[in-house]
């Protein structure tokens, strides 16, 4: 059985040998030209005059295009049409693309793009989320969710905690930048190879931009060097510009973003700003909560609506909140349009309640773990305390068992004591410890996106080609889907190959996002493979006698009525008998619904649980710190591939740790992003991984009928490094012998850590 085995990533050897092809590695067609973008120098302005003569005259330049050159819609907004591909009369953020220049070489195009002479009439710019909120500047109407009587419950609560907090944004920092290579096809057609999580959306944007029917546009992606949400909607600008240039010039045009341009142009994870008011009892149990969240959307809506919705649906994290009032707004600021990033608002929702848990514990002098446990959703066999604030019943809760196992396997209590002893005799270096859990809802919260298609082709030599709507960004989706098909047909994994994602093969696909890639495409591919297996089983039963459903497919052999033949022999017989050896497959996740007005329903198919314990050491004189050890227990259900899942968990953990610690986005007071390269924006390095890193999968089986009863793993582990942040906070609190609660905002950079240390010291 191929499902469930720790096979290496299908491209692992190619990856490490440097021979896996990314978009920029494709051999260039003869006559290929290169484009670059001219960016707005201002955060908010009316464009006065745009003199592009010097750009046109620059060496190697072939053409210059602006918004006026779109035969169709100059538009790449994924949901709302507020996102021009190239700026029109106004610019809305510093870095917004205003024109494209095409030259013989990449370098010539980039040099020419700097020569534009554009005059601007500046408009007032809103740069901060709170400032935009105060001005009532939003990209979407506010969201509101209420359950119970939070007003009364807050009044009656014996203890109360009010405050504000914030968490920063995060650049996706995919190693392969945004890129699109557009090749004119016969007639007016266009073939675009690009780095995207959403080929169908690219097809639609290009078709609309060029005024073509969708059938004239084909978009293809073999793999990405990372997407992390940043190529869900925002690959469209690059695909749209490359296609525009290729359309007019009838020559192949490649647009490859330089890292600085990529960071200046594209949106990031939304920074969130919170106001909370929580009532609780002396045991630390939350009785009521009023929570306001401001998500900084940037200049346009993009995916901010579903991001804020996911944040609202994750403020509970693993905790039962009886009476709540939650408001969320998407603030319009004159900055990049923030977009999907691993977790998609879920981390920003959940970390607020974890901050509240930590605050309550510090106020009550309790171990934060005990406060957390006291607030968990009820055990799965327990009625009451198991309906989320948005009305979905939690039927698969394993957080009690999972946290108990991790608490014990990580020696949490013993280490807590040892750390207290260490801190008592260490004046400068302080250690901290934290355990944080997560519960993450799996499914697109936009119900109709939960569908997928696949094609399975069986060739006469018994080898199998699979195509499905999902994209490969390093997460191992193609490996998992190939495993599902190999399992279904009872053949070795080496007999199955997944080909590039292609809009010409599967139509109307959803983005590979919301961690649903394997859930959706695995089921669709299983459906296709199953149909072929059933035809083959019927044939075998006809030949050998017996019932079709008793035919067994295993390890490349077919057994029927005590006779056996190879899979390949049966395939050849099927061909001669004129039996169809390929099939399509389709899947739509059942039982999902959502009412956007009341923010209630059943948006998720199931929940993925996990928990982590982190131990850090902080230098209280410099603010430097190190993660000494991390223990993780993650619920992947019956994992489709434990090796790949472990990689996803490790990667997400370190990526989330970067978000909450060293990665800081800084805009100057003119609205220019000053951290637009790795020299000023610090992502984690291999040296930041803990020397002692213990990742385990929790023994579980999905109660929902997911693909082979597995659970998604792409995004949820990004919530595990909350434990790193709270361990740092714990270390800082020890400076005041845990009498003060450190005012630590995220990211906990060295500066932020020093500020918090200073605050607890001066309060003493």
Catalytic residue positions? 715
Element (H, E) at 625: strand 625-634
108 makes contact, choosing from ligand MOS, ligand LUZ, ligand MTE, none, with CB < 5 to 8 Å by partner type, with: none
If we measure between CA atoms, which residue out of 264, 33, 287 comes closest to residue 150? Answer: 287
Nearer residue to ligand LUZ within complex by CB, 198 or 431: 198
Assess 638 for contact with ligand MOS (CB under 6 A): no
DSSP structure class, residue 710: B
Assess 516 for contact with ligand MTE (CB under 6 A): yes
Residues 475-494 as x/- pattern, contact with ligand MTE by CB under 6 A: x-x-----------------
Nearer residue to ligand LUZ within complex by CB, 279 or 656: 656
Residue corresponding to tokens 């944040």:
311
338 makes contact, choosing from ligand MTE, ligand LUZ, ligand MOS, none, with CB < 5 to 8 Å by partner type, with: none
Nearer residue to ligand LUZ within complex by CB, 448 or 739: 448
Assess 347 for contact with ligand MTE (CB under 6 A): no
Of 444, 667, 725, 726, the one binding ligand LUZ by CB under 6 A: 444
**What are the φ/ψ torsions at residue 474 (nearest 5 degrees)?**
110, -10
474 makes contact, choosing from ligand MOS, ligand LUZ, ligand MTE, none, with CB < 5 to 8 Å by partner type, with: ligand MTE
**What are the φ/ψ torsions at residue 57 (nearest 5 degrees)?**
-80, -5
Q: Is the dihedral of CA 697, 701, 707, 712 positive or negative?
A: negative
Assess 197 for contact with ligand MOS (CB under 6 A): yes
Q: Are 504 and 546 in contact (CB under 8 A)?
A: no
Please give the torsion angle defined by the CA atoms of residues 259, 263, 264 and 269, in that order, rounded to the nearest 10 degrees. Answer: 170
Q: Copy the structure tokens of residue 288.
A: 């009521």
How many residues line the site for ligand MTE (CB under 6 A)? 20
Assess 715 for contact with ligand MTE (CB under 6 A): yes
Nearer residue to ligand LUZ within complex by CB, 80 or 185: 80
303 makes contact, choosing from ligand LUZ, ligand MTE, ligand MOS, none, with CB < 5 to 8 Å by partner type, with: ligand LUZ
Report the nearest approach of ligand MOS to the CB of residue 235 (Å).
11
If we measure between CA atoms, which residue out of 295, 413, 340 comes closest to residue 718? Answer: 340
Report the nearest approach of ligand MOS to the CB of residue 260 (Å).
23
Query: Can you tell me the distance from the alpha carbon of 370 to that of 366, in angstroms, rounded to the nearest whole number?
Result: 7
Q: Are 589 and 596 in contact (CB under 8 A)?
A: no
Please return the burial class of 323, using the count of CB atoms within 10 Å of its CB with bins 0-12, 13-18 and 19+. Answer: buried
Assess 440 for contact with ligand LUZ (CB under 6 A): no
Report the nearest approach of ligand MTE to the CB of residue 344 (Å).
7
Assess 344 for contact with ligand MOS (CB under 6 A): yes
If we measure between CA atoms, which residue out of 265, 370, 276, 263 comes closest to residue 321? Answer: 276
Q: Copy the structure tokens of residue 184.
A: 């004119």
- CA distances to 393, 423, 755 from 622, rounded to whole Å, are 47, 17, 11
637 makes contact, choosing from ligand MTE, ligand MOS, ligand LUZ, none, with CB < 5 to 8 Å by partner type, with: none
Of 714, 716, 717, 721, the one binding ligand MTE by CB under 6 A: 714
Assess 299 for contact with ligand MOS (CB under 6 A): no
Q: Are 22 and 180 in contact (CB under 8 A)?
A: no
What residues have CB less than 8 Å from 247, skipping those under 6 apart?
A: 71, 182, 184, 188, 190, 210
Assess 321 for contact with ligand LUZ (CB under 6 A): no
310 makes contact, choosing from ligand MTE, ligand LUZ, ligand MOS, none, with CB < 5 to 8 Å by partner type, with: ligand LUZ
Report the nearest approach of ligand MTE to the CB of residue 450 (Å).
12
Q: Copy the structure tokens of residue 532.
A: 């072929």
Report the nearest approach of ligand LUZ to the CB of residue 477 (Å).
14
- CA distances to 97, 114, 136, 205, 246 from 100, rounded to whole Å, are 8, 11, 34, 17, 12
* Interaction residues for ligand MOS, span 63-82 (CB under 6 A): none
306 makes contact, choosing from ligand MOS, ligand MTE, ligand LUZ, none, with CB < 5 to 8 Å by partner type, with: ligand LUZ
Of 446, 491, 720, 756, the one binding ligand LUZ by CB under 6 A: 446
Of 190, 245, 340, 581, the one binding ligand MOS by CB under 6 A: 340
Of 513, 592, 660, 707, the one binding ligand MOS by CB under 6 A: 513
Report the nearest approach of ligand MTE to the CB of residue 346 (Å).
11
Per CB under 6 A, the segment of 39-47, 123-131, 440-448, 478-486 that binds ligand LUZ is 440-448
Assess 615 for contact with ligand MOS (CB under 6 A): no
Per CB under 6 A, the segment of 22-30, 425-433, 442-450, 716-724 that binds ligand LUZ is 442-450
What residues have CB less than 8 Å from 119, skipping those under 6 apart?
A: 47, 48, 49, 50
Query: Can you tell me the distance from the alpha carbon of 138 to that of 119, in angstroms, rounded to the nearest whole number?
Result: 28
Q: Copy the structure tokens of residue 125.
A: 């710019």
518 makes contact, choosing from ligand MOS, ligand LUZ, ligand MTE, none, with CB < 5 to 8 Å by partner type, with: ligand MTE
Assess 339 for contact with ligand LUZ (CB under 6 A): no
- CA distances to 144, 150, 215 from 389, rounded to whole Å, are 12, 12, 43
Assess 468 for contact with ligand MOS (CB under 6 A): no
Residues 220-239 as x/- pattern, contact with ligand MOS by CB under 6 A: -------x-x--x-------
Assess 234 for contact with ligand MTE (CB under 6 A): no
Assess 511 for contact with ligand LUZ (CB under 6 A): yes
What residues have CB less than 8 Å from 44, skipping those under 6 apart?
A: 90, 91, 92, 93, 122, 123, 124, 125, 126, 334, 671
Q: Quick one: residue 555, left, alpha or beta (phi over 0 = left, psi -120 to 50 = alpha)?
A: left
Nearer residue to ligand MOS within complex by CB, 232 or 663: 232
DSSP structure class, residue 36: E
Which residue lies nearest ligand MTE, judged by its C-beta?
517
Q: Quick one: residue 462, left, alpha or beta (phi over 0 = left, psi -120 to 50 = alpha)?
A: left
Assess 345 for contact with ligand MTE (CB under 6 A): no
Question: 4 pairs with which residues across the strands?
Answer: none
Nearer residue to ligand LUZ within complex by CB, 342 or 708: 342
**Which residues here bind ligand MTE, judged by CB under 6 A?**
226-229, 342, 473-475, 477, 512-518, 648, 651, 714-715
Chain residues binding ligand MOS by CB under 6 A are 197, 227, 229, 232, 340-342, 344, 513-514, 715
């Amino acid at each position: 059985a191929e499902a469930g085995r720790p096979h290496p990533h299908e491209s692992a050897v190619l990856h490490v040998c440097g021979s896996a092809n990314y978009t920029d590695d494709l051999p260039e067609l003869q006559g290929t030209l290169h484009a670059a973008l001219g960016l707005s120098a201002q955060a908010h302005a009316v464009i006065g005059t745009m003199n592009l003569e010097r750009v046109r005259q620059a060496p190697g330049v072939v053409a210059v295009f602006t918004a006026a050159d779109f035969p169709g819609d100059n538009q790449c907004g994924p949901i709302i049409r507020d996102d021009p591909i190239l700026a029109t009369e106004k610019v809305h953020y510093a870095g917004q693309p205003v024109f494209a220049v095409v030259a013989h070489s990449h370098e010539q195009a980039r040099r020419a793009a700097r020569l534009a002479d554009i005059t601007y009439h500046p408009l007032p710019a809103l740069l901060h989320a709170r400032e935009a909120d105060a001005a009532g500047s939003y990209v979407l109407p506010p969201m509101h969710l209420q359950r119970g009587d939070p007003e009364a419950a807050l009044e009656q609560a014996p203890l109360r905690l009010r405050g504000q907090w914030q968490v920063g944004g995060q650049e996706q920092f995919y190693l392969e930048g945004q890129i699109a290579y557009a090749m004119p096809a016969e007639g007016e057609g266009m073939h675009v190879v690009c780095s995207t999580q959403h080929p169908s959306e690219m097809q639609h944007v290009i078709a609309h931009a060029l005024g073509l029917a969708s059938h004239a546009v084909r978009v293809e992606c073999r793999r990405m060097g990372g997407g992390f949400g940043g190529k869900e909607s925002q690959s469209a600008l690059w695909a749209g510009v490359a296609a525009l240039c290729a359309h007019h010039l009838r020559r192949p045009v490649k647009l490859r973003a330089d890292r600085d341009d990529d960071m200046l142009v594209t949106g990031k994870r939304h920074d969130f700003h919170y106001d909370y008011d929580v009532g609780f009892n002396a045991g630390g149990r939350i009785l009521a909560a009023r929570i306001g969240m401001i998500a900084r959307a940037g200049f346009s809506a993009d995916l901010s609506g579903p991001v804020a919705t996911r944040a609202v649906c994750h403020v509970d994290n693993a905790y039962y909140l009886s009476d709540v009032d939650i408001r969320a707004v998407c603030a319009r600021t004159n900055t990049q349009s923030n977009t999907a990033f691993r977790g998609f608002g879920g981390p920003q929702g959940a970390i607020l309640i974890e901050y509240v848990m930590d605050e309550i514990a510090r106020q009550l002098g309790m171990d934060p773990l005990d406060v957390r446990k006291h607030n968990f959703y009820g055990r799965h066999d327990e009625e009451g305390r198991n309906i989320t604030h948005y009305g979905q019943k939690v039927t698969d809760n394993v957080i009690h068992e999972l946290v108990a196992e991790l608490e014990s396997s990580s020696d949490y209590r013993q280490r807590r004591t040892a750390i207290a002893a260490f801190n008592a005799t260490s004046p400068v270096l302080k250690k901290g410890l934290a355990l944080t859990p997560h519960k993450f809802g799996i499914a697109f919260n936009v119900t109709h996106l939960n569908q997928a298609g696949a094609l399975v082709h069986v060739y006469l030599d018994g080898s199998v080609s699979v195509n499905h709507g999902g994209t490969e960004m390093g997460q191992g989706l193609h490996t998992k889907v190939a495993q599902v098909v190999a399992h279904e047909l009872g053949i070795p994994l080496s007999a199955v190959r997944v080909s590039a994602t292609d809009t010409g093969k599967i139509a109307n696909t959803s983005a590979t996002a919301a961690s649903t890639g394997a859930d959706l495409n695995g089921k669709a591919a299983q459906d296709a493979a199953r149909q072929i297996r059933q035809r083959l089983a019927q044939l075998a039963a006809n030949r050998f006698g017996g019932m079709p459903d008793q035919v067994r497919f295993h390890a490349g052999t077919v057994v029927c009525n005590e006779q056996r033949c190879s899979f390949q022999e049966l395939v050849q017989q099927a061909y001669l008998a004129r039996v169809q050896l390929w099939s399509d497959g389709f899947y739509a996740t059942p039982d999902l619904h959502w009412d956007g007005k009341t923010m209630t329903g059943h948006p998720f198919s199931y929940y993925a649980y996990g928990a982590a314990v982190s131990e850090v050491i902080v230098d209280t004189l410099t603010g430097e710190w190190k993660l000494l050890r991390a223990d993780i227990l993650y619920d992947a259900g019956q994992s489709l591939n434990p090796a790949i899942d472990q990689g996803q968990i490790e990667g997400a953990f370190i990526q989330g740790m970067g978000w909450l610690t060293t990665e800081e986005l800084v805009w100057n007071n003119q609205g220019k992003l000053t951290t637009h390269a790795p020299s000023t924006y610090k992502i984690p390095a291999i040296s930041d991984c803990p020397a002692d890193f213990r990742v385990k999968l929790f023994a579980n089986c999905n109660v929902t009928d997911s693909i082979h009863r597995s659970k998604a793993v792409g995004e949820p582990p990004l919530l595990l490094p909350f434990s790193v942040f709270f361990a740092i906070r714990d270390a800082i609190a020890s400076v005041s012998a845990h009498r003060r609660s450190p005012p630590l905002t995220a990211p906990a950079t060295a500066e932020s850590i020093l500020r918090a240390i200073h605050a607890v010291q001066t309060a003493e």
